[in-house]
Structure 1
């Protein structure tokens, strides 16, 4: 029997495509899911409306966020946005740091967020990733990317339906590195038993709640015998508590090859931070690109919904070419998290219907529609549902 926290996982983490296909909702799956345990948090609500932090992000963030706001408003979704326009492009200014602090405070207050991707500079003098800093500060420890074929949108692979779950707060993203002497850099990869067990339990409970059968642990324990060895060992020890699920593990380089060759073999994949970043990008390419993959990041107190494949899109910023699908479907996941299934289903069904129809698609999907035209098509579709 599923625990209360586990049962509540299903509402949030069921794929948007599943809702569009009108698959049944798991019993007891309602709002206020917090962790894989039973401790629950309550989102901020004033009167009949929820307050949700909106962080549009950089690149195409403002454009796709505007699409979400337009669609939600048209459907009378009972949400008030608390928008914080933090940016990672020029993070050296005092004002930018202040906005980042405001975004963290807003998420801590509202418990829920919809977020685009914040740019992180590559140069050595650049600041730490705001995306990573936000997850670490708020302990938003579990990242989920839903990799699933969209009906009517043909890609090289069919029958792909997998969930990539990555630990969000440690591993190579710990941000602990220094130059011992000129030309010699030490970068620390942190793996702890406690956080490895926590993400493993999250993955197992996700599988149970969503009626999935198999979990694969991705690692590099053949080389990093202590760090990834601990992650792998903890995974298998935790698996003993879930005897109904099939478990296996796979070295990350083989997993990358297998994902490209036969992605249908995977169901749920759980892994440390860096491997999740790589495999979520590979997964997105399998089903049509970064523009269509939804995702979310879960913590004990805060849930942040954002595209599952983290691309900023600086190259098409301001060109009205962005695909808002990923953020719209992430927004639909947020609505299911709140128990607003009717709104979530109507929006996700409209998105999938427009894509399946094939007449209005953005450039990344082989069409020539602008962001505004694609949004308009979704609004028109919603009127028929």
Structure 2
């Protein structure tokens, strides 16, 4: 009797299709690793770009009108905050990666969903090992949220599985796509996610998975999560939930959730649902983080939502708040956030949320009211406390 590979070769001869042996598939995977589709080497880390007490930050604007408008908002907010942060505008895609590698932090305000832009975003995530994606969605009264008291912290995996881009066609009309995950990658993500949840003051984390359908892929992450959770069981509750149940609860009772963990297979569309439930992606921001680099984006940009004609002022402000916190200017970040909440309480609202004001007016109003102390602001706030 024919067994194993012999059966495959015999069937290939009969059907006229090419047979791929185990060694050929392994060689294909190895070549994909060598090409950089799956990161195996550590990221080259340059010295911190801190010149004369000023942080340098990459500002990617692209060539679109939306990107140019977003860049003006970012620059004006940083100038009004008087923080020691200077942006380096980048419009050329070829210079973007080098600038982020050098500056370690970037603000991305362009929205593009074409194949080239997607490839560039994946390259940066892989080459800089930005293995975590974070966004926080919450309800703002009067801003299209049907549910009160919603506050969900999303911490998703960002550069495993589908990000490997491993696909090939063994025969005409047949395509195989591989989702490659590693235990080391899963554990690194989960260690960061649990620590971030504790730092954010969260009490319960929900790991969204399909371990029943994917026992080796999702099942491995579930087992690692249970093991790592033992270190945090005194301050964090771990809940395992199937994707279908999670989606059902998000659209009917989103206030049930506190913090969501998910692999890259589910993180992006769960973030889309969370933002939609809370009023829209144009209210929120996102960040892709690694151990040494971070890229900050309005959630519109992260989700590549091209149905918007412009970048929302609220998403830009939230992005700058995240950036300032990351750079250590927490006092100025809190002040900027308070000013955005003040505009909402004062009834200053853009057209997309039923108001009559423009995004430029919202930004200008906040710029006129900012009271950040700028240089030494965090030290001043600590002394005042």
Smaller-chain TM-score bracket: 0.7 to 0.9
Residues 209 and 262, structure 2, Cα contact 8 Å, conserved in 1: yes
Partner of 1:225 in structure 2?
215
Between the aligned partners of 2:307 and 2:246, the Cα distance in structure 1 is 30
Q: Deviations over 1:34-73 (max 9, x none)?
A: xxxxxx9974111131111111355733322311211211
1:165 has 2:171 as partner: no
1:144 has 2:134 as partner: yes
1:327 has 2:316 as partner: yes
Residues 143 and 165, structure 1, Cα contact 8 Å, conserved in 2: yes
Residues 70 and 110, structure 2, Cα contact 8 Å, conserved in 1: no
Residues 296 and 304, structure 1, Cα contact 8 Å, conserved in 2: yes
Between the aligned partners of 2:225 and 2:110, the Cα distance in structure 1 is 30
Between the aligned partners of 1:159 and 1:117, the Cα distance in structure 2 is 31
Which stretch of structure 1 is more off in the superposition, 235-244 or 136-145? Answer: 235-244
Alignment of 1:1-385 (within 5 A): 43-57=48-62, 60-86=66-92, 99-100=93-94, 102-121=95-114, 128-150=118-140, 153=143, 155-244=145-234, 245-309=236-300, 310-312=302-304, 314-317=306-309, 321-358=310-347, 360-382=348-370
Between the aligned partners of 1:62 and 1:127, the Cα distance in structure 2 is 17
SS in 2 for 1:347: helix
How many equivalent pairs are there?
Answer: 326
Between the aligned partners of 1:364 and 1:117, the Cα distance in structure 2 is 19
TM-fit CA distance, 1:217 = 0.7
Give the 3 Å change call, closer, same or farther, for CA 264–113 of structure 1 in structure 2: same
TM-fit CA distance, 1:347 = 1.5
Residues 146 and 308, structure 1, Cα contact 8 Å, conserved in 2: no
Over alpha carbons, which structure has the higher Rg?
Answer: 2
Runs of 5+ unmatched residues, structure 2: 1-44, 374-385
Tell me the C-alpha RMSD between the 2 structures.
Answer: 2.4
Between the aligned partners of 1:221 and 1:42, the Cα distance in structure 2 is 41
Between the aligned partners of 1:294 and 1:82, the Cα distance in structure 2 is 20
Give the 3 Å change call, closer, same or farther, for CA 228–312 of structure 1 in structure 2: closer
Give the 3 Å change call, closer, same or farther, for CA 211–47 of structure 1 in structure 2: same
SS in 1 for 2:311: coil
Q: Deviations over 1:197-222 (max 9, x none)?
A: 11111111012212211111111111
How does the TM-score come out when normalised to structure 1? Answer: 0.78
Between the aligned partners of 1:49 and 1:362, the Cα distance in structure 2 is 33
Between the aligned partners of 2:343 and 2:222, the Cα distance in structure 1 is 42
TM-fit CA distance, 1:151 = 5.1
How does the TM-score come out when normalised to structure 2? Answer: 0.78
Residues 59 and 315, structure 1, Cα contact 8 Å, conserved in 2: no
TM-fit CA distance, 1:78 = 1.5
Q: Which protein is richer in helix relative to its size?
A: 2
- Higher RCO (C-alpha 8 Å, min separation 6): 1
SS in 1 for 2:299: coil
SS in 2 for 1:221: coil
